[in-house]
Amino acid sequence: MTDTERRPRGDEAFVRDLMDATAIDGASTAMVFPLRFLGASLLIAWLCCTHIVEVFPVTGAHDLAARNMGDLFMRIGDISTFVVLAIAAPRIGSLACHRHALWALSGITSAGTAICGFVLIPGSSGAAALALGSVVTAVGGAVLFCTWAQIYSRMGATQTVVYGAASCIAAMLVSLGIVSMKQPVALALTSILPLLCAACALAGQKLVAPEAPWKSDVRFPMPWKLIALMIIAAFMSGLCGLLLSNQTGGAIHRVLATGLAGVALLGMAFVLRERFDARLLAKVSLPLALIALVSMPFAGSEFGALVSMAAKFAYVWFTLFVLLLLANIARRFEVPALRMFAIVRACSEAAILAGVVAKRSIWEFDLHYDQAFLFGLFGGFCGRDSGIGPAQRAKTTIWN
């Protein structure tokens, strides 16, 4: 992921490359930072806030059962949309080029967020109405994710790192700002985030290189080994709130983990400079995830928040590594990004969903208080992971 193949070495070259990466084309605006590329932070903030009970729904934890059902079907809608995008990728091409469809889907997501949060969940609506509303709400969010993936894949390597890290930091600030507000303002602001995100995406896509055309006679291989590691990390992220006694606090840990991961990534890019390699993210994140898993049987509910925070930080950290790597692959080899990112995201979201379902099932039977069960769960994961060699695998070839 380094940019050393395209620029000379040295601090001066790094600073020059950084300025080029974050400036709008044109001599008169060379020092202007296009904040529109931080629009991805609005999508991340929307994803975070719709999983925080203090924000979504408007009545908070009083509707926990209905909210959990809405969350379940939003994830199902999310995964289904990614599958459809992966299948239809050759026909769709660049999502940002479909302006009217992007505006419409983003508007539906904004409206769906408001309807589910203000009406369907608090009003104890029927299961069918809540399920349909949640599935439809998720579609625009999935499309926006792939839109930003395509945009970031057409940036330079330095630009991708800087804006990716800055978007994580901005997402944390936006999310914490919304959490600090009272209802109904918090949910109203959350509801308009998809539309603001779409506006930034449509403005930002004009400043990047055009999408590489789909070549029907070329087969693009998928990094299945890397996806397998991400599935494990995503499942652990969904499961890691197991020891939280209130069963509602894990979402805020993901907000904090997202911001901290962005700070760490941006710091690494500046401090390491010539030696920066995205594989360092995998070398840190996977061992951290295993540490969180190992500590689970010993932590108890007192330290459940620490386990949750560590596992979510590891997941976000590893996700950044995967997304940076895929963007680099798409850019260097002119691979259309939509199918690749849609498949990866579908797999990770399905793994998170499996982890969340497993966590809720364990809560239902009070197995999270059974230390013998936790030891067995931990042993099963260790047996599954023992042959992977995470740091080594991440360093070797990822192609299947």
Q: What is the pLDDT of residues 206-239, one digit of tens each?
A: 888 777 677 665 566 777 888 888 888 788 777 7
- Tell me: the pLDDT tens digits for 308-346? 777 777 788 888 888 888 888 888 887 888 999 999 999
370/164: higher pLDDT: 164
- Evaluate whether 387 touches 302 at the Cβ level (below 8 Å): no
Closest alpha carbon to 155 in 207, 200, 223, 92? 207
- Tell me: the pLDDT tens digits for 263-275? 988 888 777 766 6
Angle between helices 127-152 and 337-364 (to 10 degrees): 140
pLDDT score of 25: 38
Closest alpha carbon to 321 in 268, 271, 256? 268
Q: Specify the 3-state DSSP secondary structure of 374.
A: helix
Percent of the chain residues past pLDDT 70, beyond the cut: 69
- Tell me: the pLDDT tens digits for 189-201? 999 999 999 999 9
Q: 262: which 2 tokens?
A: 């962005």
- Evaluate whether 241 touches 355 at the Cβ level (below 8 Å): no
pLDDT band of 128, cuts 50, 70, 90: very high
Closest alpha carbon to 14 in 278, 321, 275? 275
pTM to 2 decimal places: 0.81
Phi-psi region at 114: left, alpha or beta (left = phi > 0; alpha = psi -120 to 50)? alpha
